Homo-oligomer: A and B are copies of this chain.
Amino acid sequence: MSVMGHPDPTGRFGEFGGRFVPEPLMPAVIELERTFEEAWADPAFRDEYHRILREYAGRPTPLYHARRLSESLGVDLWLKREDLAHTGSHKINNVIGQALLAQRLGKTRLIAETGAGQHGVATATAAALFGLECQVFMGEVDVKRQALNVFRMQLLGAEVVPVSSGSRTLKDAVNEAMRNWVSCLETSHYCIGSVMGPHPYPYIVREFQRVVGEEASIQFEAATGKSPEWVVACVGGGSNAAGTFAGFVDSSARLVGVEPEGGAAIGRGVVGVVHGMESMFLQDEFGQVEEAQSISAGLDYPGVGPEHAHLAAIGRASYESVSDAEVLDAVRILARSEGIIPALESAHAVAWVIRERERFGDGDSVLVTLSGRGDKDAETIANATGAGL
């Protein structure tokens, strides 16, 4: 098995992954696996997927050389602009793929969990585009802090279901989505929003996000004639990072995933089995999952996709973390020096580059995936910086 190739027959990347689902869900994930394998091998399916990304979602997104910030940091910095994708983040890549799969599976309804609301908005968008029903589960805490996205989902015709159990954030939304899914398997596809959950999800979502890294790699090579020395992306579940890394894993680039300090599943977690996967999770000594704490709703997740746990274990990628304060600084710095307001999630990657700027060699290029735009975070940023809104 090559690094970031196909998972093994048990759905594992090295030691991590697998398929820990209750028996009632087993037929559904097996059917999904088979359907995806067929579809992904079918040029017509890929064409349709890429056509929609191009004509509808705005791909390819630019690779932008951040000249002013490069100069002020003393780092040659390039940004892969997923913030320009339709709905405002990389999440659209995955949902277009999964909506096509849902169609192929004959499903008429999408369900999804969401944290920041970006995946919920993307799923609601794909549902509207394909004429599917849509229900999005979202922790009550997140419903409050991402009100704009809640409204967007509703306007798109989706039903947003606030989840009041547990920590009332993303992990509980996942639980609730799984609870819902098992009761409506026949009509519904569960459109997971990151490289997490039971096999084949981590694999499917990485493949649908691979376009980010593959584009970036071609674009960087075209612009500079070389490969970047560093490739950096934020990690919640890890889909934008996985998609990015997939384009560079066979190069000599150093791959860095950036987690929030309060949700550093790789940095501070231990191995466990939650949400259908064997991976790294923040948990107490007894195995109870702990609540993540991050200013960014989209990274406020105590686990991480299994492939990242694997990349960390084999040393192919390293995972670092930044604080909320560093993230807020990074938002301001990027906004003021480049005219780009990043999502709080994406700002984690930028914050790490800013903090570690001394670490890069002379002549090193750093490619950062800017996974999304910050409009959705205006209120959070305003409150955090005392600006009010």
Q: Which residues of A contact B (CB under 8 A)?
A: 54-56, 58, 61-65, 68, 81, 83-88, 124-129, 131, 147-148, 151-152, 154-157, 331-332, 335-341, 374-376, 378, 381-382, 387, 389
Contact = CB atoms under 8 A, between A and B. Distances in A.
B335 A157 contact: yes
A251 to B, nearest CB: 22
B81 A58 contact: yes
A127 B389 CA distance: 22
Contact of A378 (B63, B128, B148, B340): B148
Contacts of A378: 148, 151-152, 155
Contacts of A382: 151
Contacts of A85: 84
A127 B337 CA distance: 9
A148 B381 CA distance: 11
Nearest to A53: B62
Nearest to A151: B378
A339 B375 contact: no
A156 B375 contact: no
B54 A58 contact: no
Nearest to A61: B58
Contacts of A126: 339
Contact of A155 (B124, B125, B129, B335): B335
A154 B332 CA distance: 10
Nearest to A52: B64
Contacts of A335: 128, 155-157
Contacts of A374: 155
B339 A131 contact: no
A58 B68 contact: no
Given A58-B84, A156-B341, A375-B376, 17 more contacts: A58-B81, A68-B131, A81-B86, A84-B84, A84-B86, A86-B340, A124-B339, A125-B340, A128-B338, A129-B338, A147-B389, A148-B375, A148-B378, A151-B378, A151-B382, A152-B375, A156-B336
Contacts of A129: 68, 338-339
Contacts of A336: 128, 155-157
Contact of A125 (B151, B332, B339, B387): B339
A10 B335 CA distance: 40
A61 B54 CA distance: 10
A374 B340 CA distance: 18
Contacts of A341: 152, 155-156
A298 B63 CA distance: 30
Contacts of A55: 62-65
A327 to B, nearest CB: 14
Contacts of A157: 335-336
B58 A339 contact: no
Contacts of A339: 87, 124-129, 156
Contacts of A58: 58, 61-62, 81, 84
Contact of A62 (B56, B332, B340): B56
28 contacts: A54-B62, A58-B58, A58-B61, A58-B62, A58-B81, A84-B85, A84-B86, A125-B339, A125-B340, A127-B339, A128-B336, A128-B338, A148-B375, A148-B378, A151-B381, A152-B341, A152-B375, A154-B387, A155-B331, A155-B332, A155-B335, A155-B341, A156-B335, A156-B336, A156-B339, A157-B335, A157-B336, A375-B375
A156 to B, nearest CB: 5
Nearest to A125: B339
Nearest to A388: B151
A154 B387 CA distance: 10
A382 B151 CA distance: 8
